[in-house]
Amino acid sequence: MFSIALLAAVTMPNATIMGDFDRDGRMDRVRLERKGEAYNIVMYRATGDVEPVQRGVTPVENFKFKKVSREARGAACQAASVSRYVCDAGDVLEYGTASDYVIAIWNGSRFVLHRPLSPQTAAS
């Protein structure tokens, strides 16, 4: 049921995730916004600033758009070679599919995007 709701939310024009992505202690909104045939991912900071995460994203079947859980954050940030301090200080965004996904982490001035190696890529 949850995956159906998530897929429905992602295929709608403007899916939104709330969290403290910029580590300032206030809630930000990250949105998947439809622009023509593709989508842009944008952070609306609590300060009022708008920061791009990635442009031209194409959600496909099984596309996920979520906050990394606190329990999984350490592994996600280790895969992205980001310090534990940065991970624990704020929320981390993950989007894509199981075999091709992106971890987006705010570095203080912009999002740093990391694509961990998929199991298929690592094996070849």
Percent of residues, the chain, with pLDDT higher than 90 = 34
pTM of the model: 0.76
Query: What residue spans define the domains of the chain?
Result: 2-123
Q: pLDDT digits over 42-101, tens only?
A: 999 999 999 999 999 988 888 899 998 888 877 777 777 777 777 777 899 999 988 888
Helix (H) or strand (E) holding 71: helix 70-79
CA distance 21 to 90: 5
- pLDDT at 10 exceeding the cut of 50: no
pLDDT interval class at 6 (50, 70, 90): very low
